[in-house]
Amino acid sequence: MKSEKVSRPLVGVFWMLATGACFIAVTALVKYVGDGVPPAEAAFLRYFIGLVFLLPALPAMRAARLTPRQWRLFGTRGVFHGLGVILWFYAMVRIPIADVTAMNYLAPVYVTIGAALFLGERLAFRRIAAVIAALIGTAIILRPGFREINAGHLAMLGAALVFSGSYLTAKVLADEAKPAVVVAMLSIFVTLTLAPFALVHWVTPTLTQLMLLAAVASVATLGHYTMTLAFAAAPMTVTQPVTFTQLVWAILLGYLVFDEAIDMWVILGGVVILASVTFITWREAVLNRAPTTPPSPAMKI
């Protein structure tokens, strides 16, 4: 008789809190680097340096017998994710950290829509209502006509959209390849995608900037690892609401370190979006389906 997996909610919450801390640290480091390194180059260096973390995955990659179709899917995902990372780096130095974090929650909502349009998943009324609520949350954050919407906000809208394309492709690949191969191929193809964009406006980075971007690669990798531990310890219905703490840390970080004003409308909009994502995750759990909506932290680089 197959033993059921034991859920450890407190352990899952702990690791998800650690994940949030890692990703907020990534945000702070990228914000600190600022415009000193062009967005595409900074993103390229982050992924290029991060290739060192692929060494443990080499045996699985050598053993994988990928079909031409799978290679195309890996390449497509790399392009989607690479463009998303460029837009995210661009937005990070132009709008408040809280705005970036709140709008980052949109990607799972886009995934829900994309799964219905391209993967044939049923979009029930409750999920439609959750999607509409998330769009209302976005409108609350942006408040068109009441605040300036700059290129950074538009970049984040685009980033969430192309990230959703990446995760929809990952859903298909996850059923066909080992997780280590999926993760490794993402890093490789994102690096290849970013390289030409980085070379167009290459600025020789200083040693300090290289060290900061190496720290970004290290902390981001650690964040993905702790997120995996969180999902192994508890269901996403437990860990998903914990991602709200990222918005809290983002607001405090922006206010205390980068002298950014606290915008209650951004907080309200972020809460509305996250509530809709949490509801979608809960509905998928109730229906006993493998979740197609990736958790909010997974949108990070």
Instruction: With beta carbons less than 8 A apart as the criterion, state whether 160 and 168 touch.
Output: no
Residue range 219-243: mean pLDDT, rounded = 77
Measure the CA–CA gap between 140 and 273, rounded to whole angstroms: 10
3-state secondary structure labels for all residues of 91-149: HHCCCCHHHHHHHHCHHHHHHHHHHHHHCCCCCCHHHHHHHHHHHHHHHHHHCECCECC
Mean pLDDT for the chain? 82
Please, which pLDDT band fits residue 288 given cuts at 50, 70 and 90?
low
- Answer yes or no: is pLDDT of 300 > 60: no
Task: Say which range, 49-53, 62-66, 108-112, 237-241, has the weakest mean pLDDT.
Answer: 237-241
Measure the CA–CA gap between 116 and 258, rounded to whole angstroms: 40
pLDDT for residue 2: 46
Domain that holds residue 158: 9-296
Residue 168 within a domain: yes
pLDDT for residue 86: 93
- What pTM was estimated for this model as a whole? 0.81
Residue 2 within a domain: no
pLDDT for residue 82: 93
205 is written with which tokens?
């980075």
Residue-wise pLDDT for 208-218, tens only, equals 999 999 999 99
Instruction: With beta carbons less than 8 A apart as the criterion, state whether 227 and 16 touch.
Output: yes
Q: Buried (b) or exposed (e) across 212-241, using 16+ Cβ within 10 A?
A: bbbbbbbbbbbbbebbebbbebbbbbbbbb
Please, which pLDDT band fits residue 294 given cuts at 50, 70 and 90?
low
Measure the CA–CA gap between 11 and 32, rounded to whole angstroms: 32
End-to-end CA distance of the chain: 40
Residue 243 within a domain: yes
Residue 1 within a domain: no
Q: Which residues contact 224 (CB under 8 A, 6 or more apart)?
A: 183
Whether the CA torsion 171, 177, 180, 181 is positive or negative: it is negative
Give the residue from 84, 21, 76, 73 showing the smallest Cα distance to 47: 84
Residue 3 within a domain: no
Residue 214 within a domain: yes
pLDDT for residue 3: 47
CA angle 91, 244, 298 (to 5 degrees): 60
CA dist list (Å): 275 to 10, 106, 234, 242: 21, 11, 19, 11
Q: What count of Cα atoms within 13 Å lies in the side-chain half-sphere of residue 136?
A: 12
pLDDT for residue 93: 86
Residue-wise pLDDT for 103-134, tens only, equals 888 877 787 787 777 767 777 777 788 888 88
Measure the CA–CA gap between 109 and 208, rounded to whole angstroms: 37
Residue-wise pLDDT for 194-209, tens only, equals 999 999 989 999 999 9
pLDDT for residue 1: 44
Residue 65 within a domain: yes
300 is written with which tokens?
């990070």
Measure the CA–CA gap between 134 and 121, rounded to whole angstroms: 19
Residue 4 within a domain: no
154 is written with which tokens?
């538009």
Number of domains in the chain: 1
